[in-house]
Structure 1
Amino acid sequence: MLTTILDQDRLRDKVSLTLRVSYFSSIFSFVFGLLCIFLLDIMEVVPYIFIGFGVLNLLNTLAYKYHKNLTLTYNVISISGLISSIIITLFTGGINSSFIFVLAVVVFAGYTSTRNYGKIYLYISILLIILIYVQGISEYSLTQNVVPADSQNLFSFLSILFSVYLLGGVLGKNLLRAHHNLYKTKHELEQQIKEKETLLKEVHHRVKNNLQTVSSLLSLQARSISDERMRTLIKSSQNRVISMAMVHEMLYMREDISKIEYSSYVQELGEYLVKSVKGATDNVSLRIDIPDIQLGIDTAIPLGLLINETITNALKYGIKDEEEGEIHITLRKVAHEEYVLMIGDNGVGYPENINMKNSKSLGLKLIHNLARQLKGSISRDTSKKGTNYILKFREVGENVQSVI
């Protein structure tokens, strides 16, 4: 978002800078052309090039209001300026003409547009200066100096003033203003983003607190129920709420509130579930192999719920009673926004003919529905002992719709 707004401001400043330079260049060209005729007594070529460039430049600037193509407008200004400068330089002393410094203005203007244009006009200007020099030392010069001898010093003086004012007074001043505006906009946007991040952290904090309140209410409800089956169902719902609360807790505790470190989340969730289902027994070990992978909230929550269901099923049905067992969770990034999760246990497992369609287990149905929500596919790995799944999924974007 910040990059997009800054790009828009940069484009707006670039348009403003290009149009200002164009208007000033047209005015100065008209004035210089008139000075050549009425003050410097230059009647050949030079004043007409100045006036012609001024007219063309003004028309080009006005045309921008209709076609809105800044690149076209800029290149017409630069190319016509380059050609006009070369012709004036050739007819006012060649390599000894003070007007040759205007070529530096064209190059500088190129760099204010883009780095590539600046390089192009730099190399072209260097080549043209070499050609002007070669033409000047040649015995067969194609041009002659049309500036009268008594006007040459004044022409040099005005040429240098023209170059310096365009370079510093017009280009430099407007470039500095554009830079200041861009810096000011960037600073204001950064402040707004910090404020929004603070508010978003507060939202995550409140969501976490609300989910913990729901979890506490479920826990109180479970204590007042004597039916063991109902208590188990409520406990399962409580664990699902806790798995979501953990995501929000980790988000508001991080500097980057868009993603969470998934390894620490899975470790914390796994340890909580083992204590919740098995109590204080230390017979179940967790083997978690997750590298430095960060996931957004739209992926982290459904994946966390899927892991919650898988571990819960393993603890309740796979690794029974006080038996020793192991739960393994491996997560790998295989391509851009594509992941593979291998999760399972070494317990007793369940028959291969049981699947989501014929099973009455809510946990099994949730596992398959959550896999769909993650835009992935899940399959059983029957080559290992116990119940093991291989989930292939993608990073989920915003505004994903739940399929649970």
Structure 2
Amino acid sequence: METNVKGQERLRDKVRLTLKVNYYSSVFCLIFYLLCTVLLDITEVIPTIFLVFGILNLINTFAYYFHKNLTITYNIVSIMTLTGATIITLYSGGISSPFIFVLALIVFAGYVTTRVYGQIYLNLNILIIVLIYSQSVTDFSFVTNVVPEKSRDLFAFFSVLFSVYLLGGVFGKTLLEAHHKLYKSKGEIEERIREKETLLREVHHRVKNNLQTVSSLLSLQSRSISDEHVRALLKSSQNRVISMAMVHEMLYMHKDLAKIEYKAYVEELSEFLVKSVKGAENNVKLNIDIPDIKLGIDTAIPLGLLINEAITNALKYGIKDDAEGEISIALKKEEEQGYVLNIGDNGVGFSETVNFKNTKSLGLKLIHNLARQLKGSIVRDRSKKGTNYIVKFREIEQRHQFDSVA
């Protein structure tokens, strides 16, 4: 919405500049017509060009209010200016004519209005100037200087004055106003961006705090329950909440509020889970191989939950009690937005007949559902000892709604 408003403002500035230049050009051309006929005693060609251009350009300018197409208005005035300025230059001294500088105004106006037309008229003007020079230095010149000798200095003065006024007084002043407006808008946008970043950082901080509160409530609840199975379920839920809280914590603690350094996140999450399930003193070794990649929150959270479930299952069922064991996690980029996650343990494993469809294990079901939420695939790697998975997924760029993992 804001981008559209800025675009409309820029378009209005271009329209205002083009119409303003058209009005001034027409008025000056009509004044030039009077100067040529009354003061400079120029009777051939040049006064007629000024008069015709002044009238046609006023008609072209008023026509804009009916068709509302700035490109048409600009191209008509550019073609008329190019033609008129070329003729006046040829009949007022050729390459030595001071009126040749008006040709540069067309190029300048083209770049202000649109880069494409600016480049076109630049190349066209260069060609015209070369042709004007060619006919001026050859013996086959088909035009003569119709400006009387006594009036040439005054004609040069008015020509330069005309060019300088349009360039500085009209173009320059309008562009300076646009520059100040743009600079002011830039400052306002930067201020709004800083405010939004502060707000977003605060949101992540509060989400993290709320998730930690939920985790604390689950911990308190588990203490009042004597059933070990129920306590284990609450502990698993608590760890899932903490895995999500870690994402939000990393987002508000770093400059990038959209993506997190995933290697640091997985290392912190893995160490926390091992200590949570096996205690501070344990015989579990973590092998983490993750490059320096950043993932957005829509990918980081479901992938973090998947890793949480895989590690928790490995610690509870794969590596029994105080036995030694290894948990391996490797993440690599496969293609433009594709990733491959290899995760597993070297524990006792489980039967090949068990799968997420026929099992009662919530963790195994969540692993498969989370892989699906990541729009990926998951297969069991049976070439390795224990329980190992290969998860292929693509980074989720934008999420319009929250998908359920259930």
Specify the TM-score bucket, using the shorter chain as the normaliser: over 0.9
| Residue 137 to residue 68, structure 1, CA distance change in 2 (3 Å) | same
Alignment correspondent of 1:142: 142
- CA-CA distance at 1:375 after TM superposition: 1.3
State which drifts further: 149-158 or 260-269. 149-158
Alignment correspondent of 1:325: 325
Q: Deviations over 1:255-304 (max 9, x none)?
A: 11111111101110011000001112231111111112111111111111
In 1, the alpha carbon distance for the partners of 2:177 and 2:350 equals 72
Trace 1:279-358 onto structure 2 (pairs within 5 A).
Answer: 279-358=279-358
In 2, the alpha carbon distance for the partners of 1:389 and 1:62 equals 72
Alignment correspondent of 1:96: 96
1:401 corresponds to which letter in structure 2? F
Alignment correspondent of 1:387: 387
Aligned residues: 404
Q: Deviations over 1:214-262 (max 9, x none)?
A: 1011001111110000000000000010001001101111111111111
In 2, the alpha carbon distance for the partners of 1:319 and 1:69 equals 74
Kept in 1: contact 2:334–2:340 (CA 8 A)? yes
Alignment correspondent of 1:172: 172
2:195 corresponds to which letter in structure 1? E
Q: Does 1:212 align with 2:192?
A: no
| Residue 234 to residue 180, structure 1, CA distance change in 2 (3 Å) | same
- CA-CA distance at 1:5 after TM superposition: 6.6
Kept in 2: contact 1:327–1:343 (CA 8 A)? yes
Q: Secondary structure at the match of 1:280?
A: coil
**Structure 2, unaligned stretches of length 5 or more?**
none
In 1, the alpha carbon distance for the partners of 2:269 and 2:353 equals 30
Aligned sequence identity (%): 69
| Residue 253 to residue 7, structure 1, CA distance change in 2 (3 Å) | farther
- CA-CA distance at 1:155 after TM superposition: 1.1
In 2, the alpha carbon distance for the partners of 1:275 and 1:318 equals 16
Kept in 2: contact 1:9–1:182 (CA 8 A)? no
Kept in 2: contact 1:247–1:265 (CA 8 A)? yes
Q: Does 1:403 align with 2:404?
A: yes
Q: Secondary structure at the match of 1:335?
A: coil
2:144 corresponds to which letter in structure 1? Q
1:125 corresponds to which letter in structure 2? N
2:236 corresponds to which letter in structure 1? S
2:45 corresponds to which letter in structure 1? V
Alignment correspondent of 2:28: 28
1:199 corresponds to which letter in structure 2? L
Alignment correspondent of 1:361: 361
Q: Secondary structure at the match of 2:92?
A: coil
TM-score by length of 1: 0.94
- CA-CA distance at 1:116 after TM superposition: 4.7
TM-score by length of 2: 0.93
Kept in 1: contact 2:212–2:242 (CA 8 A)? yes
| Residue 62 to residue 229, structure 1, CA distance change in 2 (3 Å) | farther
In 2, the alpha carbon distance for the partners of 1:3 and 1:253 equals 29
In 1, the alpha carbon distance for the partners of 2:41 and 2:22 equals 27
- CA-CA distance at 1:358 after TM superposition: 0.9
In 2, the alpha carbon distance for the partners of 1:226 and 1:287 equals 35
- CA-CA distance at 1:2 after TM superposition: 8.2
Alignment correspondent of 1:14: 14
In 1, the alpha carbon distance for the partners of 2:30 and 2:338 equals 63
**Structure 1, unaligned stretches of length 5 or more?**
none
| Residue 114 to residue 303, structure 1, CA distance change in 2 (3 Å) | same
In 1, the alpha carbon distance for the partners of 2:5 and 2:293 equals 29
In 2, the alpha carbon distance for the partners of 1:5 and 1:265 equals 40
Alignment correspondent of 1:52: 52
In 2, the alpha carbon distance for the partners of 1:286 and 1:385 equals 16
2:279 corresponds to which letter in structure 1? G
1:402 corresponds to which letter in structure 2? D
